[in-house]
Amino acid sequence: MVEKLPQPWTDSSTINISTLQPMTEVSNELLAVLTTAEPLLRQITPEQARQKPRPEKWSPLETLGHLIDSACNNQQKFVRSMATPQLEFVGYAQNFWVDAQQYQQAEWVTVLDLWLAYNRHLAHVIRHVDPAVLQHTLHIDGVGPFKLGFIMADYVEHLKHHLRQILPDGPFESKFLNLY
């Protein structure tokens, strides 16, 4: 018999704060990941940052660029979801975004600094979210509904998932489910 896993991101009932990771904890986790990742990422040379593991895969530079795009899109999800109880949100063509912005040609330190600053801001947003809006839901490209609290926590898991690609020997573990 297969056990059905609980799905807090689709349950339309009110969020039980006692069963959710507090948003302060999510914010602290994001900041801790940044603190751990920064010195490791700064050890990567610009030449290493441009090396692709395979021709069809992103380089560390492109992966970090993708994480900037993810930060940008998730900031929109967070703030727009705070404003309305139900939101329809578009997905985005990740490969197109990475290619269109030419991350492979960008300066490693510039991309790294932007990624760090953007994520510090998102940690601030997550820390200060009104708990009353954590039950707001959104659909992403027709998939969902997902609760805002889940989207915020999942953002950190997605970030760690990609940091594991850049830093395979790093200390990051991720529970990212790739649901949308």
Cα–Cα distance, 166 to 58 (Å, whole number): 10
Determine if the pTM surpasses 0.75.
yes
What's the half-sphere exposure (Cβ side, CA atoms, 13 Å) at 168? 3
Residues constituting the chain: 180
Q: Coil, strand or helix: which one is 133?
A: helix
Give residue 128's identity as a one-letter amino acid code. H
Cα–Cα distance, 95 to 103 (Å, whole number): 11
pLDDT tens, residue by residue, 16-47: 444 455 799 999 999 999 999 999 999 999 99
pLDDT tens, residue by residue, 39-58: 999 999 999 999 999 999 99
Handedness of CA 41, 60, 106, 45 (dihedral sign): positive
Picking from 101, 156, 100, the residue whose alpha carbon sits closest to that of residue 126 is 156
Question: Residue 95 — very low, low, confident or very high, per pLDDT cuts 50/70/90?
Answer: very high
Torsion of the alpha carbons at 16, 21, 25 and 26, rounded to the nearest 10: -110
Mean pLDDT of the 78-93 span: 95
What local confidence, expressed as pLDDT, does residue 64 receive?
98
Fold of 62-180: Four Helix Bundle (Hemerythrin (Met), subunit A) (1.20.120)
